[in-house]
Amino acid sequence: MSPTVPPPPLAPPRIPRRRGRLSTWYRARSLRSRLTFLTTAAVAVAIAASALACWFIVEKQLYDQVRNDLQSVPPPQAATLQRPCPSTPEAALAQAQADQTAGDLPNLPRGGPAPRDTQFVWADQGCVSVPFGATRAIVIQPGDMASALSLKPNQAIIRDGRYTNGDPAMVRLTLGRGPAHNSIVVMVATPTKAVEESLRQLAFLLAGVALGGIALAALAGRLVARSALKPVDQLTDAVEHIARTEEVGSTIPVQGDDEIARLSTSFNSMSTALANSRERQTRLIADAGHELRTPLTSLRTNVDLLIRSDDTGRPLPPATRTKLLGNMKAQMQELTVLIGDLLQLSRPDSPKPVRTLSVVAVHEIAERAVERAKLRGPGLVFETSTAPWYVHADAAGLERAVINLLDNAVKYSPPGGTIAVRLDGGVLTVRDHGPGIPQDELPYVFDRFWRSPSSRQLPGSGLGLSIVAQSVREAGGEVSLGPAQDGGPGALATVRLPGGPSPD
């Protein structure tokens, strides 16, 4: 037996990452609140950065001023050692204050007063002394002696320090010589408590100004967000009104040329397009009902007549019965054609179906349409001239358009009339010699269910030319209908299609 291989260990389940509380809170806010929050945050960051920069600049200027002032103080060149010599600054200050009249207190050269707060540290004896009248002593930090003893003449070290009572100070260290030419570290200090108090007050002032600025920024951000989103509120109200009442066509005023104005313009265009679409649907339904009523009424009359003849026991004469059945068949064919035309025209008002696009030979379609037109108009003369032309389109729809144009020409041509069909360079023309179209009726010839008052007695639904316009438009071309160019009787239909003389 082969050894059993243990299954691989299961990977630990993946734990979905949780969004932070701040992110969750932010996403739960309204757009107006988020704009206010972002505006306030941006202003707060800017104010905080400005306040910090201001505070640090002022701090640097003040301390540089203190440092330069301390640097300009001339150091004493000699001092007299106190007797006995204290070992700490505190003891030296206490001894100086206890014996204000003793002659062994250290004196500066030529008996001048001590510059600022001065303190002497005798390097060889490790004791500290202060001048007569001193009120403060300076704390000696570790490393002061080593740093000062390494100084050269006219060199100084300036550092931050403190007095023995805890007050802040800035201290200057220099190296001097005593009466016996022994080394003395001279410490001169300037208090910086006033500077720190000024900086503290400045910090409170800047903090107050920053908080006030942030509050004003929040208020301004709220007002700006409300003003900026007012068109959005109007758009929302309009959309809610349409959803509540189903009254398409409502528009909102457009102001300016910004993104909100573009959104408002797009909404107005969409609302107007929806209103036009609904109007077209309503008109299509009304026109279709009107066109369907006539053949249905005729069918019902003929059926009622047949039923009544059977119920009364008085059958119709065979000739009359045959005529009724023939009329019923013609009416059924008319209904079939009308319903097919309605289905063809319903495509623009619904999602576009998937059409089979291919390379279509327009000259072959024209030739087949002419052969079919000859069957419908046996007494007519057809003059045909077609040059090869290929277009990328829906073959069935384009053939239906050409057939409708020829059927229309056959319908209005007089007996023995001539129909000229030409195809040259992608331009298909169909010329008949009928009554033509009045100039004032030309703008309506491609409308659905429109029929000229002079041709309402002729068969047809008024949808043929609408189907022509739709099919040609879907093929990327254009169609027009007008009077004959030579000034003679009849109408001229012109179809321009993109493509080429070869299928490549």
For residue range 396-416, what is the model confidence (pLDDT) as tens digits?
888 888 888 888 888 888 888
- Burial string for 400-423 (b: 16+ CB within 10 Å, else e) reads bbbbbbbbbbbbbbeeebebbbbb
Is the pLDDT score of 2 beyond 50? Answer: no
pLDDT at res. 204: 93
- Return the SS3 of 432: coil
Q: Note the residue count of the chain.
A: 504
- The overall pTM is greater than 0.85: no
| Angstrom distance (rounded) from CA 445 to CA 63 | 92
- Angstrom distances, CA of residue 492 to CA of 133, 248, 249, 421: 124, 39, 38, 10
- Of 118-127, 136-145, 161-170, the one with minimum mean pLDDT is 118-127
Mean pLDDT of 209-222: 87
Position with higher pLDDT, 423 vs 222: 423
| Mean pLDDT taken over the chain | 79
Position with higher pLDDT, 145 vs 21: 145
Give the model's confidence band at 121: pLDDT under 50 very low, under 70 low, under 90 confident, else very high: confident
Give the model's confidence band at 197: pLDDT under 50 very low, under 70 low, under 90 confident, else very high: very high
pLDDT at res. 30: 75
Position with higher pLDDT, 334 vs 14: 334
Mean pLDDT of 67-72: 87
pLDDT at res. 106: 47
pLDDT at res. 454: 58
Element (H, E) at 493: strand 491-496
> pLDDT digits over 48-58, tens only?
899 999 999 99
Position with higher pLDDT, 268 vs 260: 268
Is the pLDDT score of 95 beyond 70? Answer: yes
Give the model's confidence band at 180: pLDDT under 50 very low, under 70 low, under 90 confident, else very high: low
Both tokens assigned to 36? 């206010």
pLDDT at res. 113: 47
| Angstrom distance (rounded) from CA 149 to CA 185 | 7
Mean pLDDT of 269-291: 75
> pLDDT digits over 156-174, tens only?
889 999 999 999 999 999 8
Is the pLDDT score of 223 beyond 80? Answer: yes
Please enumerate in sequence order all residues whose Cβ is within 8 A of that of 325, keeping only pairs 6 or more positions apart, or say none: none
| Angstrom distance (rounded) from CA 195 to CA 197 | 5
- Return the SS3 of 376: helix
Q: What is the DSSP letter of 119?
A: E
- Return the SS3 of 454: helix
pLDDT at res. 14: 54
Is the pLDDT score of 115 beyond 60? Answer: no
Give the model's confidence band at 464: pLDDT under 50 very low, under 70 low, under 90 confident, else very high: confident
Mean pLDDT of 411-428: 89
CB 344 within 8 A of CB 467: yes
Please enumerate in sequence order all residues whose Cβ is within 8 A of that of 498, keeping only pairs 6 or more positions apart, or say none: 391, 426, 475, 476, 477
Give the model's confidence band at 275: pLDDT under 50 very low, under 70 low, under 90 confident, else very high: confident
Is the pLDDT score of 254 beyond 90? Answer: no
> pLDDT digits over 336-380, tens only?
766 776 676 665 544 444 556 788 899 999 998 898 888 778 889
